[in-house]
Amino acid sequence: MRKNTHYFLLALFSSIILGCSDDSDSYQPNYLPSIDATALPDGNHPMAMFEDDEDPSIMYNKADRWFRVNEPFQVIQKGKDSVQVSLYSPVGLTNVKVYAKLPNYDKRFLIYSFSKVPAFHRSFHKLPLTEQKNDYLLETGNTVTIDKIEGFSSGAIEFSVESDDPLFQKFKKIKSTHLVQFNDGYHINEYGKFLPMNPALAKEAITMIINYSYALSHPLYYDTFTNFDRYKQEQATTAGTEINGALNWHGNADDVDGVYDYYSKEEIEKIYWNYLDKRTLWMAMVGGDSAWGGGNLASQWESGYVTGHWVGEMSVWSHEYSHHIGFSHSSNLANSGEGGGQQEMLTHFYKYLIYLNDLPFTDPEVLKTYAKTSYVTGTYKKPVFTINPKNPFLLKYKGEGKWN
């Protein structure tokens, strides 16, 4: 029998006091049962976020609807005795384990185990710590017993999430920590230039930004981004031509007769990580002739949200996202001119990842927005992906390079 370490944690005033009982091989822990979030009791009132007929004002509530791209499964403490669990994903998860860590105890312990969590799920759960004395499985494999604690101040418990679900393993690889929200200020203040987004389109936007963040974080993209001069040379060699335009990444200063404000290797490294930082991203929908980005904003046409990203047409999004990062049209980080900038490179790479099936989501059937008529203004067909045999990543890696 595995040897259990049997602890007792007690709440005394505002502190937590730790005491150890004798180790006992005969102790049989009684762990909390696993939770199937697809079949919660009626009193839990679970909900599916971003239902097609949901009031869009809920979607635009920036205090309620937000997530970080590397943490689509979200656990937030609510009050002194409950948590809110949300999954910002078009595909559900299995075998999700939520660990807790208390301030005065250095080991994580399993507080919730979800056998299933459906897509775009939200539910609320009492903290078992506040209900009664329970046994909990430590991350070390031993057991901790914690007496009932009356409640916790905000932030007193640190939550972390683990899962062996292959989709969750892809989420964990995302290095970007952008916080994603939707903002109604754009179409309210500049209607026509921007249009309202609805929950059906928001689900597509969430799917796209998770995929995009995975692509930006990918080791192959990092290697190519930080060695853009090599990429340009390889393209020229393959085409049998001289290098066209700027050799490497350059800033927002205007080109003067082919003289560019090139970044150093150290600056390029910093710029790459800037693309993955913790800034807030507001995703909006274009209504006029031009897409827009800058500040917190990056936008896309409806067609880009509904079908474009499924077939890898990411040029517009890459362009507007680069404006969001701070680059103007004069920089090849935000354009595809001068023989190919980031717009072109990112699009080729994204398509190569679809070809490899190396994105979190590659099947438009998970949402089927293209088949809807009530929540889109255009008429669409199911997007069908094909890759150009001259794709530079396909030519170079020949089907290799999947992020294992």
Is 382 found in the same domain as 252? Answer: yes
Query: Would you say residue 171 lies in a domain?
Result: no
Tell me whether residue 102 is in a domain: yes
The percentage of the chain sitting over the pLDDT mark of 70, rounded to a whole number, equals 93
Q: Which pLDDT band, with edges at 50, 70 and 90, does 96 fall under?
A: very high
- Among the listed residues 384, 217, 214, the one whose alpha carbon sits nearest the alpha carbon of residue 310: 384
Range of the domain at 35: 7-61+70-165
Question: Cβ of 52: how many Cβ atoms within 10 Å?
Answer: 13
Helical axes 199-217 vs 315-325, angle rounded to 10°: 80
Residues 148 and 183 in one domain: no
CA gap 303, 313 in Å, rounded: 10
Distance (Å, rounded) from C-alpha 89 to C-alpha 133? Answer: 34
- Coil, helix or strand at residue 145: strand
Mind listing the pLDDT tens digit for each residue in 233-278?
998 999 889 888 899 999 999 888 888 999 999 999 999 999 999 9
Place of tokens 């937000």: 66
Query: Given the structure tokens 């995975």, which residue do they identify?
Result: 214
User: Mean pLDDT for the chain?
Assistant: 91
Average pLDDT over residues 355-359: 98
Q: Are residues 233 and 381 in the same domain?
A: yes
Q: Are 114 and 37 in contact (CB under 8 A)?
A: yes
On whether residue 172 sits in a domain, the answer given is: no
Tens-digit pLDDT profile for residues 108-118: 999 999 999 99
Out of 142, 165, 188, a domain closes at: 165
Provide the pLDDT for residue 25: 64
Question: Region 103-110: what's the mean pLDDT?
Answer: 89
Residue 170 lies in a domain: no
* pLDDT band, very low/low/confident/very high, at 337 (cuts 50, 70, 90): low
> Bridge partners of 12?
15
> Is pLDDT of 7 > 70?
no
Residue 174 placed within a domain: no
155-197: pLDDT as tens digits: 789 999 999 999 999 999 999 999 999 999 999 999 999 999 9
Does residue 344 fall inside a structural domain?
Answer: yes
Tokens coding 227: 């060695």
Give the pLDDT band of residue 227 (cuts 50, 70, 90).
very high
Say yes or no: 303 and 222 in one domain. yes
Residue 372 has pLDDT above 90, yes or no: yes
Partners of 137 in beta bridges: 143
pLDDT score of 24 = 54
pLDDT digits (tens, 9 = 90+) for 13-72: 333 434 334 345 677 888 999 999 999 987 788 999 999 999 999 999 999 999 999 999
Do 205 and 316 lie in one domain? The reply is yes
Given this model, what pLDDT does residue 92 score?
98
| Inside any domain, residue 321 | yes
User: Residue 90: which of 395, 401, 361 has the closest Cα?
Assistant: 361
Residues 195 and 343 in one domain: yes
> How high is the pLDDT of residue 151?
82
Q: How far is CA 243 from the centre of its chain?
A: 36
Rounded to whole angstroms, the Cα distance separating 231 from 392 reads 9
pLDDT in tens, 133-158: 999 999 989 999 989 988 888 878 99
CA pair distance 373, 357, nearest whole angstrom: 29
Residues 327 and 213 in one domain: yes
Q: Note the pTM of the prediction, 2 decimals.
A: 0.93
Query: 378: which strand partners?
Result: none
In a domain, 402, yes or no: no
Which residues, in sequence order, are bridge partners of residue 336?
A: none
At residue 392's C-alpha, the angle toward residues 248 and 340, to 5°, is 35
Do 262 and 355 lie in one domain? The reply is yes
Question: Of the residues 122, 139, 165, which one is the last residue of a structural domain?
Answer: 165
Q: Same domain for 376 and 260?
A: yes
Q: Are both 214 and 359 inside the same structural domain?
A: yes
Taking 60 as the threshold, does the pLDDT of residue 2 lie above it? no
The last residue of a domain, from among 133, 165, 197: 165
Given a cut of 90, whether residue 105 has pLDDT beyond it is no
Question: pLDDT category, 338, cuts 50, 70, 90?
Answer: low
- What confidence score (pLDDT) does residue 1 get? 36
Residue 323 and residue 377 in one domain: yes
Q: At residue 267, what are phi and psi to the nearest 5 degrees?
A: -65, -40
Do 199 and 93 share a structural domain? Answer: no
What is the number of structural domains in the chain? 2
